[in-house]
């Protein structure tokens, strides 16, 4: 499942290709995506792509170059403002198994292709075997891009207060998208290892100093994962079909029975909230 660094990687790669490109055609191959081909996307130019939590947001300009819409209005009857006169933003969420692929050749679309957006420079393809991904189009509103580290800038006592109200292990708290957007299983395990915090501890039991350690750890773990274009432990691929490289930097995730690189003790696996959780019982208190 793509987490913050993977979604951020896709946004950055899309932002290198798409701004200025005009949508030539949109093919929706799966009605479960929650969108149709008549959203008025063709003819629009992409302005920018940014991440909001785990959403990929694609901002598009007005369809001003379509003479059928921007030309002089005929007749004296009331003409309703067409939705295509607004600036639009598409919000794409990959959920469990969604991935994006940029194709420039004439090769056939891969199996499980759900959506194809064609541009002069190439095609953006959404592939999703389990069909949980969503794609919806709304009028643009000003939503700021998020920082790389969702824990950055939050006062530790605010984190502590929020956590105290929740009866959750700290790992589950970090993965709860209502409080911290974008951190999933892999990065929650890694951040808590770097912070030296036992993932089984109650989130409300962490002191301000310990929350500062969690923040510092996330500021080390997440940007590095973005630099490495994400973590490929199963099916993650970037926009160009390449594996990420952050799996080479994992300290605990999926390392059950292997020695801790800090203390030499053995990494253990447990389950928290139904999810596999890896930690060092010596380094994490
Ligand atoms: Zn250790």
Tell me if 210 is assigned to some domain: yes
Q: Which residues have a beta carbon within 5 Å of ligand 1, which is an ion? A: 260, 262-263, 265, 280, 282-283
Phi-psi region of 95 (alpha: psi -120 to 50; beta: other; left: phi over 0): left
Tell me if 285 is assigned to some domain: no
Are the beta carbons of 204 and 166 closer than 8 angstroms?
yes
Distance 259 CA to ligand 1 centre (A): 8
> Are both 269 and 188 inside the same structural domain?
yes
**Cα separation of 104 and 134, whole Å?**
24
pLDDT at 48: 95
Number of H helices, E strands in the chain: 6, 10
> Are both 250 and 203 inside the same structural domain?
yes
Distance 189 CA to ligand 1 centre (A): 13
Phi-psi region of 3 (alpha: psi -120 to 50; beta: other; left: phi over 0): beta
> Are both 55 and 170 inside the same structural domain?
no
List pLDDT tens digits, range 114-165: 999 999 999 999 999 999 999 989 888 765 555 567 888 788 999 999 999 9
List pLDDT tens digits, range 26-63: 999 998 887 777 778 999 999 999 998 889 999 999 88
pLDDT band at 85 (very low <50, low <70, confident <90, very high): low
pLDDT at 79: 40
Q: Which residue has the tokens 């499980």?
A: 112
Enclosing domain of residue 49: 4-71+78-139
Count up the domains in the chain and report the number. 2
Mean pLDDT of the chain: 89
Residue that is last in its domain, among 108, 139, 170 = 139
> Are both 187 and 267 inside the same structural domain?
yes
List pLDDT tens digits, range 164-176: 998 899 999 999 9
**Cα separation of 192 and 176, whole Å?**
15
Distance 103 CA to ligand 1 centre (A): 44
Tell me if 52 is assigned to some domain: yes
Residue 229 has pLDDT above 60, yes or no: yes
> Are both 112 and 176 inside the same structural domain?
no
- Edge-to-edge order in the sheet of strand 46-52: 46-52, 55-60, 88-93, 134-139
Smallest CA-to-CA distance from 2 within 42, 41, 51 is with 51
**Cα separation of 213 and 209, whole Å?**
6
Are the beta carbons of 59 and 46 closer than 8 angstroms?
yes
> Are both 175 and 273 inside the same structural domain?
yes
> Are both 170 and 268 inside the same structural domain?
yes
Distance 280 CA to ligand 1 centre (A): 5
List pLDDT tens digits, range 55-84: 999 999 988 654 444 444 444 444 444 455
Smallest CA-to-CA distance from 84 within 65, 111, 106 is with 65
> Are both 231 and 187 inside the same structural domain?
yes
User: DSSP assignment, residue 3?
Assistant: -
CATH of the domain at 211: 1.10.8.50
CATH of the domain at 35: 3.20.190.10
Tell me if 144 is assigned to some domain: no
| Bigger pLDDT: 96 vs 68 | 96
**Cα separation of 173 and 269, whole Å?**
18
Positions annotated as catalytic residues are 2-3, 54, 275
**pTM of the predicted model as reported, rounded to 2 decimal places:** 0.88
pLDDT band at 182 (very low <50, low <70, confident <90, very high): confident
Tell me if 249 is assigned to some domain: yes
Tell me if 145 is assigned to some domain: no
Tell me if 62 is assigned to some domain: yes
Which residues 6+ apart lie within 8 Å of 53 measured at CB?
146, 150, 177, 181, 182
Q: Please write down the long-range contacts of 256-262, taking CB distance under 8 Å and 24 or more positions apart.
A: none
> Are both 8 and 126 inside the same structural domain?
yes
> Are both 186 and 234 inside the same structural domain?
yes
């Amino acid at each position: 499942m793509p987490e913050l660094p993977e979604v951020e990687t896709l946004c950055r790669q899309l932002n290198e290709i798409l701004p200025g490109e005009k949508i030539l055609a949109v093919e929706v191959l799966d009605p479960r995506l929650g969108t149709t081909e008549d959203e008025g996307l063709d003819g629009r130019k992409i302005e920018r792509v940014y991440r909001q939590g785990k959403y990929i947001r694609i901002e598009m300009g007005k369809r001003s170059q379509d003479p059928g819409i921007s030309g002089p209005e005929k007749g004296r009857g009331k003409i309703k403002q067409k939705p295509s006169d607004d600036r639009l933003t598409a919000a794409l969420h990959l959920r469990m198994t969604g991935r994006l692929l940029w194709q420039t050749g004439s090769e056939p679309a891969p199996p499980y292709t759900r959506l194809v957006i064609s541009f002069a420079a190439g095609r953006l393809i959404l592939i999703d075997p389990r069909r949980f991904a969503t794609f919806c189009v709304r009028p643009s509103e000003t939503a700021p891009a998020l920082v790389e580290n969702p824990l950055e800038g939050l006062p530790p006592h605010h984190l502590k207060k929020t956590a105290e109200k929740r009866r959750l292990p700290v790992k589950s708290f970090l993965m709860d998208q209502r409080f911290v957007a974008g951190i999933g299983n892999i990065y929650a395990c890694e951040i808590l290892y770097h912070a030296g915090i036992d993932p089984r501890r109650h989130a409300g039991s962490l002191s301000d100093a310990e929350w500062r350690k969690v923040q510092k750890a996330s500021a080390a773990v997440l940007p590095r994962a973005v630099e490495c274009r994400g973590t490929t432990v199963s099916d993650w691929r970037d926009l160009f079909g390449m594996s990420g490289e952050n799996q080479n930097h994992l300290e605990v995730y999926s390392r059950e029975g292997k020695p801790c690189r800090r203390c030499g003790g053995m990494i253990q696996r447990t389950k928290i909230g139904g999810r596999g959780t890896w930690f060092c019982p010596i380094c994490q208190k």
